[in-house]
């Protein structure tokens, strides 16, 4: 390792919610620059994970941290505090191990640690333990407060279920859920169409063609700037237990692919669902029938042959759902090819994903030796044979996973967690 005066470092900053001004990305990086300057260290680069939760995403799954590890020649990584890197002790130790393998250590501006020494490493682990305890205590308080609000029949906030709005509670503090006069007729008709067996894609087209009002605060758009309904959004509103007057444990979660579990609802002392008749547009029996109808048409294999659309086999059983650890299935959404998780229902469009993966394959692995030539040469020789190209892709990929993103966003490459196999030297 270099001496102190010769030390070279990189800066790393992370933030879950960008409105946290007290620990903004800019402030973290500025503090890191001043820390390095005061010690005479040169800064080789700055790496950021903005809007990324440390609880939901391990360091090695974040783009900024992965890019940082791809750099060579640094002796230290400067962060603002230990919890900017990880909120779980095991994640912290794995990140430290990755740095040790590169002959580097972790330094925190606000926490008095310098993991370039054994004593500093031991103290940092203690801080990580306390950080994990603090995070769990916060989660417990939030869960308890939310449970109490739900038990009182009040609305806890979050994404609003379609067809409903919040209103001032007439019987006490807080707000309650009521029907939205503008959207409830559209919801009622969409439910009726689904019960009759109309496909979800057809209902989405009907809502778009009839210019039905979008969900509140919706960001769903197409390329020309106009709003449109998609299968995922419609499927989500048809599966919400609020249709039968029941209250989900976690209503309105704003992550794509997160289907509401019809059984995860508030229940009374006897274990029976608590029903708010003023919200229900279906009985419990009708809601259960609707779920069975949706499940029967959920997978491409359940559709009639003339309804199925052929898609490229390039990514067949290649991509894995990061949350469910199962392979994504091929399918279509509004006649466009997508990958869909059979469990959590997250989707990713292939119109942008496939070209993105091909570009990375040819750019990052094109010169790798393969079958007596190179990956690039074999790829071009395969021509339009998607099965042959799939084998070439598989020969280079160690793991390819997709994690959930925000509903309505365009292609987000940060959702794609791609790891190549070790390079082969000719």
Domain ranges for the chain: 4-139, 176-298, 313-420
Lowest-confidence region among 36-40, 256-260, 411-415: 256-260
Going by C-beta distance under 8 Å and a sequence separation of 6 or more, which residues neighbour residue 52?
Answer: 14, 15, 16, 62, 64
Q: What is the pLDDT of residue 30?
A: 94
Predicted confidence (pLDDT) per residue in 201-246, tens digit? 899 999 999 999 998 765 455 444 557 898 888 998 999 999 998 8
Predicted confidence (pLDDT) per residue in 268-298, tens digit? 778 788 888 989 999 999 999 998 888 876 5
- What phi, psi does 277 have (nearest 5°)? -60, -25
Mean pLDDT of the chain: 82
Q: What is the pLDDT of residue 227?
A: 72
- What phi, psi does 406 have (nearest 5°)? -85, 135
Lowest-confidence region among 145-149, 217-221, 248-252, 299-303: 299-303
pLDDT at 118 over 70: no
Q: What is the pLDDT of residue 385?
A: 93
Mean pLDDT of 346-366: 93
Give the C-alpha separation, 327 to 331, whole Å.
Answer: 13
pLDDT at 341 over 70: yes
Higher pLDDT, 153 or 178: 178
pLDDT at 252 over 80: no
Q: What is the pLDDT of residue 379?
A: 95
Higher pLDDT, 341 or 333: 341
Structure tokens at 190: 């969409």
- What phi, psi does 269 have (nearest 5°)? -65, -25
pLDDT at 301 over 50: no
pLDDT at 417 over 70: yes
Q: What is the pLDDT of residue 251?
A: 45
CB 146, CB 156: distance < 8 Å: yes
Q: What is the pLDDT of residue 20?
A: 43
Lowest-confidence region among 65-74, 202-211, 297-306, 325-334: 297-306
pLDDT at 263 over 80: no
- SS3 at position 27: helix
Mean pLDDT of 376-380: 95
Going by C-beta distance under 8 Å and a sequence separation of 6 or more, which residues neighbour residue 219?
Answer: 406, 407, 408, 409
Q: What is the pLDDT of residue 380?
A: 94
pLDDT winner (highest mean) among 37-51, 140-154, 304-318: 37-51
Give the C-alpha separation, 226 to 219, whole Å.
Answer: 10
Pick the CATH number of 4-139 from 3.30.450.20, 3.40.50.1390, 3.10.580.10, 3.40.50.1220: 3.40.50.1390
Higher pLDDT, 134 or 46: 46
pLDDT at 195 over 60: yes
Q: Which CATH class is domain 176-298?
A: alpha beta
Higher pLDDT, 303 or 187: 187
Q: What is the pLDDT of residue 83?
A: 81
Q: What is the pLDDT of residue 373?
A: 93
Give the C-alpha separation, 340 to 413, whole Å.
Answer: 16
Q: What is the pLDDT of residue 255?
A: 42
pLDDT at 253 over 60: no
Give the C-alpha separation, 325 to 405, whole Å.
Answer: 16
- Residue whose token pair is 């330094």: 107
pLDDT above 70 as % of the chain: 79
Higher pLDDT, 16 or 239: 239
Q: What is the pLDDT of residue 315?
A: 94
Q: What is the pLDDT of residue 117?
A: 62
Give the C-alpha separation, 65 to 57, whole Å.
Answer: 11
The model carries a pTM of: 0.47
Higher pLDDT, 380 or 52: 380
* 172 pLDDT tier (thresholds 50, 70, 90): confident
* 114 pLDDT tier (thresholds 50, 70, 90): low
Mean pLDDT of 50-54: 83
Mean pLDDT of 136-153: 70
Q: What is the pLDDT of residue 103?
A: 86
């Amino acid at each position: 390792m270099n001496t102190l005066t010769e030390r070279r470092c990189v800066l790393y900053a992370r933030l879950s919610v960008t409105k946290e001004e007290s620990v903004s990305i800019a402030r973290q990086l500025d503090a890191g620059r001043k820390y390095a300057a005061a010690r005479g260290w040169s800064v080789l680069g700055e790496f950021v994970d903005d809007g990324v939760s440390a609880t939901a995403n391990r360091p090695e799954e974040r783009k900024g941290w992965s890019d940082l590890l791809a750099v060579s020649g640094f002796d230290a990584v400067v962060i603002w505090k230990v919890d900017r890197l990880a909120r779980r002790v095991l994640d912290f130790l794995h990140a430290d191990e990755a740095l040790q393998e590169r002959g580097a250590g972790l330094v925190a501006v606000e926490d008095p640690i310098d993991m370039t020494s054994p004593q500093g490493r031991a103290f940092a682990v203690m801080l990580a333990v306390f950080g994990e305890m603090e995070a769990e205590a916060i989660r417990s308080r939030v869960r308890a407060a939310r449970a109490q609000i739900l038990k009182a029949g009040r609305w806890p906030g979050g994404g609003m279920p379609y067809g409903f709005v919040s209103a001032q509670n007439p019987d006490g503090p807080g707000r309650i859920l009521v029907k939205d006069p503008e959207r409830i007729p559209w919801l009622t008709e969409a439910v009726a169409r689904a019960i009759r067996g109309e496909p979800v894609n057809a209902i989405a087209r009907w809502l778009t063609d009839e210019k039905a009002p979008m969900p509140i605060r919706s960001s769903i758009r197409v390329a020309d700037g106009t709003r449109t309904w998609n299968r995922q959004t419609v499927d989500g509103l048809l599966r919400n237990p609020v249709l039968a007057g029941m209250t989900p444990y976690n209503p309105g979660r704003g992550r794509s692919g997160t289907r509401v579990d019809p059984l995860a609802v508030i229940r009374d002392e006897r274990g029976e669902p608590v029903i708010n008749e003023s919200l229900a547009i279906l009985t419990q029996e009708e809601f259960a029938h609707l779920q069975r109808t949706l499940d029967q048409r959920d997978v491409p294999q359940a559709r009639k042959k003339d309804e199925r659309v052929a898609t490229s086999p390039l990514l067949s059983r290649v991509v894995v759902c990061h949350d469910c650890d199962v392979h994504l299935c091929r399918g279509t959404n509004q006649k466009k090819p997508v990958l869909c998780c059979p469990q959590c229902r997250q989707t990713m469009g292939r119109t942008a994903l496939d070209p993105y993966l091909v570009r990375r394959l040819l750019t990052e692995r094109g010169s790798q030796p393969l079958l007596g030539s190179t990956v690039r040469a074999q790829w071009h020789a395969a021509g339009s044979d998607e099965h042959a190209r799939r084998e070439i892709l598989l020969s280079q990929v160690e793991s390819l996973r997709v994690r959930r993103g925000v509903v309505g966003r365009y292609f987000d490459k940060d959702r794609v967690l791609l790891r190549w196999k070790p390079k082969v030297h000719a």
